[in-house]
Amino acid sequence: MVRWFDPNRGLGLLGRDSGGDLLVHASAVARGTVLVKGARVEFDVEDHDPRGPMAVGVTVLEYPAPRARKTPHEMVTLIEDLIRVLDRTSAGYRHHRRPTPAEAGVLATVLRAVADDLEG
């Protein structure tokens, strides 16, 4: 599975079923093939590089299913919730108080949801 791939650098990481990650270079991917996070891939391993084993002959077996983006109305609600949570968190910090684990969990969940939809 593709853990990440940066097309600008031409490098990424592939996860192995047996565990561990392998470096992948853009030259190991067929021309016109795009590697995206979460794609299932098949590859061979070559151990001739000084950086360690690398993936070669990478073939995409399956791309991840596209996520449905939230509607603008849903995003307004989510962003308003985020603002409220950030306001409470900010007020606590002004009084030299860190968020409780439960408060931090809520904040992290809302932040991730907004970020995921913005990137989607």
Taking the whole predicted model, whether its pTM rises above 0.75 is answered as no
CB 24 within 8 A of CB 13: yes
Indicate the helix (H) or strand (E) that contains 93: helix 72-94
Task: Report the SS3 class of residue 47.
Answer: coil
CA 74 from chain center: how many Å?
Answer: 22
Digitized pLDDT (tens) for each residue of the chain, 120 residues in all: 999 998 888 899 999 888 888 999 999 998 888 898 899 999 999 987 777 889 999 999 999 887 778 889 888 988 898 898 899 999 999 999 999 988 888 888 888 888 888 876
